[in-house]
Amino acid sequence: MVFRKLRNHDGTPLVALDRDDLVLDGVIAADEDDREEKTMHVQRLGKEVYVVRPVPEDGPITPLVETELVQGLVGQEIQKIKTEKPIQKT
C-alpha cells in the first residue's frame, strides 16, 4: 500500500499519482514529457473516498457503475447473498 501526502499547491489540495502506474494503465505514454496535461475526473463517493479517472479524448467518461471494478464488487455481493442461509420462519 502506497501512501501519499496531501500537499498545498497555491491554495489547492494536491495528491501526486505514481507515474509508473499511469504508464501501466495507458493514461500517459512512457516517453512523454514530465509535464503532461491530461484531463482527469475526480468523483467523491463518500466521506474520505475519492475516485480519479482519466477523461477519454474520444468520448465521454464511462459511468462508474459500468466499470469493471464496480461490476466485480456487485458480483461479489450477489454471491454472498446467494450463499447465505435463508432465515427460517417459525
Question: Which is nearest to 13 in space by CA: 24, 3, 4, 26?
Answer: 4
Q: How far apart are CA 27 and CA 21, in angstroms?
A: 9
Q: Above pLDDT 70, what percent of the chain?
A: 88
Q: Each residue of 19-63: pLDDT tens digit?
A: 899 899 888 888 866 556 888 999 999 999 999 999 988 889 989
